[in-house]
Chains A and B, each alone.
Chain A
Amino acid sequence: MSSRLQSQTSSMSSSITHLQYLESEAIYILRETAAQFGKPAMLFSGGKDSIVMAWLARKAFHPAHLPFPLVHIDTGHNFPEAIEYRDWFVNEIKATLVVGSVQKSIDEGRAVEEKGHNASRNKLQTVTLLDTIEAHEYDACLGGGRRDEEKARAKERFFSHRDEFGQWDPKNQRPELWNIFNGRKNYGEHFRVFPLSNWTEMDVWQYIRQENIPLPNLYFSHQRRVIERHGQLLDAETGFVQLLDEEKPRIKEMTVRFRTVGDATCTGAVLSDASSIDDVVAEVAAARQTERGTRADDRRSETAMEDRKKEGYF
């Protein structure tokens, strides 16, 4: 029997590009999720990773509609452009939108607002997320997380098991071999699934360029009133960042864009003239800081991400 190892000399047929590989892998994961779980849902924030993930889901199930709803965990501290985009996009792909509100969790006493000027609702999202999962009985939540984002995510699985409290146990993860994914679980447990695990920030941007995917304007260069805090440029326009009195005179209008779009209180802007996707790709290639370097929530401690993930954060 001729082994493929000996067929080296034969002519190679056209090989696929890395973006084709990543696209097909993500479609495979999305279809596995629909097939292996009873009630999956896709987390959708209006950020570029979730937009790409939803774009891939259209490809996975075409010509049918998505076999799961899009779920937005709304911190109430949104950039208006992100919400506008979300509603347009959901309508465009004829998906169902479910909104879990952090404000509602606070009003109901399920979550307690952080105090002080560094207060953020990023951590509170976990409460709302877990409540939403429980209320709708979702048994799998698709997320746009990537392994290149942060060191604790480098060891995350495609199919990530969570116990009945939504917790992640990094020392007891199921090994993932070949393309076989094990989504078996007991009642009350659920999975987080990450179809973009193997994508880098650069892959995401190149794919957006290749597919011509429309994005919220926040990702491109624009004028914005910002305040510099701990080396980060935070938004001073939406009013969600609590400003100290001494900070108010330091508000400046700058030409910026966002590399990630999340809760307005902890998403830092970068100075940028990149006004098109080509400009952004060139800028990402030249960047010397990771995109999560602009996220205040990761900078709280060396293992901040791992700690939040253990509690049930994405």
Chain B
Amino acid sequence: MDLLINPTESSLLRFTTAGSVDDGKSTLIGRLLYDSKSIFEDQLLAVEESSKRRGDEHVNLALLTDGLRAEREQGITIDVAYRYFATPKRKFIIADTPGHIQYTRNMVTGASTADLAIILVDARHGVVEQTRRHTFLASLLRIEQIVLAINKMDLVDFSEERYNEILADFEQFRAGLENKVNVTVIPMSALNGDNVVDKSTNMPWFTGKPLLEHLESVQVHVGESEGSARFPVQWVIRPQSDEYHDFRGFAGRMASGTFKVGDEITAYPAGMSTQITGIHTLEGAKEEAIPMLSYSITLAHEIDISRGDLIAKADEPPQHSQHIDAMICWFTEKPLKPRSKFYLRHTTRTVRASVPDLLYKVNISTMERVPGPTEFGLNDIGCIRLRCATPLFFDSYATNRTTGSFILVDEQTNNTVAAGMILRAVGDDTTKSTDEFAI
């Protein structure tokens, strides 16, 4: 394989894999890394040596990712591990997370930055509770693309009939998901390499692409450039120099949509409008700001704008409210109880917030709603009501992953205790039918 990727053409894909060693997840990742020559000799040698010392029968590729002492000692993955590989067409970042229910928060963390999720199914066992759980989490976090990897096809004689059975099971379950997801199904044997990098000759009945080819060609971020223009301000650049005496640039990363020089914008919370006079980078001025890239923006009129403010196109206002309903995943041992207070971090803005009400929990294995919870424990997912000290300027998570997400920070420990996805402003019923997360 030619490893010299062309940096002017190659794009980036971030994907997440959830699962346990039993599903063949480590074997699959190991194969992707190995076949793309992203595992180095000294890493492989070190893993071989530790496998031998541990008395493992085969080379344990999990040791490549399980780098922390506690993980190596206990043979478990306790965190999200990030792995990297590249082909001539694309660079990939894998967020590798453990798949058991007690690691839901790790899966949520890994999924929050992923464009695609690989969900592994053992062909012998078919769709099981873990499959449903991982698919639900991927849809909850609004991952654009799911790959259902039906692994260990060699153990069911590469049977098309078995493949169709699993597909039918999965389709039935998927029909019940409120958040629609794009699913690509690939039968494979990670151990033997069938349909991982090369098309399998053992399954001529499968007409789709092998996994790597799919990962190289799948389109993501489709909605970002079409969405409403959103630019959260991180920092105000005011050079203390004669040359740039009057320069006042609002620095940030374009979250979605585009800005052009001359566009009429409104800054929030000030609510004042003006025009964009310049979109600046070190390389020079640009005509257009596009999603994911960082700029500093200058405006025609002096408006009070500082870190935490949001610049949007004047005709595409965000929602705003002090009272919001949101889906959260609870991250710590200390339970969430009604009336708790937190710092809420939303884009570059931090506000104080309290939780007047816990609305319902979701059983992530059955996807049933459990109303009236008295508390949220570690890894619990559900809907809460939040009251913020000052209004948030936001979009629903369904329409914007950046302006629709937040974290809660504990006031005593400063730890991040919850990940949140905004459903709607309280009292706003117009979005209810389409924004609902529950099943």
11 sampled A-B residue pairs with Cβ under 8 A:
A7-B222, A17-B11, A18-B91, A31-B235, A151-B67, A175-B109, A176-B109, A281-B4, A282-B4, A286-B3, A303-B67
Most B CB contacts (10 A, CB to CB) among A35, A61, A151 go to A151
Interface membership of chain A positions 262-291, coded 1 if the CB is closer than 8 angstroms to chain B and 0 otherwise: 000000000000000000011001111110
Closest 6 CB pairs of A and B: A4-B223, A151-B67, A184-B414, A18-B12, A64-B239, A18-B91
Whole-angstrom CA separation of A10 from B11 in the bound complex: 19
Distance in angstroms between the alpha carbons of A55 and B159 in the assembled complex: 55
Is the C-beta of B348 less than 8 angstroms from some C-beta in chain A?
yes
In the complex, besides A4-B227, A17-B10, A151-B67, 7 extra interface pairs with C-beta distance below 8 angstroms are A5-B223, A32-B234, A64-B240, A151-B65, A154-B82, A288-B40, A290-B43
Interface size of A in residues (CB-CB distance below 8 Å): 78
Which B-chain residue is minimally distant from A28 (CB atoms)? B253
Across-interface contacts of A6 in B (CB, < 8 A):
180
A151 vs B69: C-alpha distance when bound (angstroms): 10
Known: A5-B181, A64-B240, A175-B109. A184 touches B82 (CB 8 A): no
Q: Is the CB of B398 within 8 A of A3?
A: yes
Closest-by-CB residue of B relative to A305 is B67
Distance in Å from the Cβ of B40 to the closest Cβ of chain A? 5
A148 to B83, CA, bound (A): 7
Which residues of chain A are within 8 angstroms of B109 by Cβ–Cβ distance?
175-177
Q: Are A198 and B235 in contact (CB under 8 A)?
A: no
* Bound Cα distance A298, B43 (Å): 12
CB of A93 to closest CB in B, whole Å: 11
Could you tell me which residues of chain B, from 160 to 206, have a CB within 8 Å of some CB in chain A? 179-182
Residues in B whose Cβ lies below 8 Å from that of A203? 91
The verdict on B144 contacting chain A, using a C-beta distance below 8 Å, is yes
> Which of the 9-residue segments B121-129, B261-269, B286-294 touches chain A?
B286-294
Residue ID in chain A nearest B67 by CB atoms: A151
Pair A147/B219 contact, Cβ less than 8 Å = no
Tell me if A65 counts as interface (CB < 8 A to partner B): yes
Q: Is B407 an interface residue (CB 8 A)?
A: yes
Contact B40 A289 (CB under 8 A): yes
Q: Does A43 contact B (CB under 8 A)?
A: no
Segment of B73-81, B317-325, B382-390 in the binding face:
B73-81
Return the contact of B406 from the options A61, A180, A210 (Cβ within 8 A). Answer: A180
User: When the two chains form their complex, are residues A155 and B68 in contact, meaning their CB atoms are under 8 A apart?
Assistant: yes
Contacts of A3 in B (CB 8 A): 179-180, 223, 398
Indicate which residue in B181, B227, B244, B290 contacts A16 across the interface (CB closer than 8 Å): B290
In the complex, the answer to whether B79 meets A178 with C-beta atoms within 8 Å is no
Establish whether residues A302 and B348, one from each chain, have CB atoms under 8 Å apart when the complex forms.
no
**Chain B minimum-CB-distance residue to A161:** B414
**In contact, B93 and A182 (Cβ under 8 angstroms):** no
Contact with A along B228-272 (1 / 0, CB 8 A): 000000110111110110010101110000000000000000000
Q: Considering the chains assembled together, what is the distance between the CA atoms of A147 and B142 in angstroms?
A: 26
Q: Is A1 an interface residue (CB 8 A)?
A: yes
Counting CB contacts under 8 A, is A238 at the interface? no
**Do A198 and B84 touch (CB < 8 A)?**
yes
CB <8 Å contact, B419 and A175: yes
**Is there contact, CB below 8 Å, between B237 and A63?**
yes
User: In the bound complex, what is the Cα–Cα distance between A303 and B10 (angstroms)?
Assistant: 34
**CB < 8 Å neighbour of A182 from B40, B79, B105, B416:** B416
Q: Does A306 have its Cβ within 8 Å of any Cβ on chain B? A: yes
- A28-67 vs B, CB cutoff 8 Å, 1 = contact: the mask equals 1001101100000000000000000000001111111100
Given contact pairs A24-B292, A182-B345, A290 touches B67 in the complex (Cβ within 8 A): no
Chain A hits for B82, CB < 8 A? 147, 154-155, 197-198
Residues of B near A180 (CB, < 8 A) are 345-347, 405-407
Q: Are B222 and A1 in contact (CB under 8 A)?
A: no
Residues of B within 8 A of A1 (CB): 398-399, 431, 434-435
Query: With a CB–CB cut-off of 8 A, which chain A residues contact B69?
Result: 303, 306
Closest to B66 in A: A151
CB neighbours of B275 from chain A (8 A): none
Whole-angstrom CA separation of A230 from B414 in the bound complex: 45
Check B407 against A285 for contact (C-beta < 8 Å). no
* CB of B339 within 8 Å of the partner chain: no
Scoring A65, A153, A182, A185 by chain B CB atoms within 10 A of each residue's CB, the highest score goes to A182
Q: How far is the CA of A59 from the CA of B283 in the complex (A)?
A: 8
B301 within 8 A of A: no
Does B414 lie within 8 Å of A182, measured CB to CB?
A: yes
CA distance A178 to B234 in the complex (A): 15
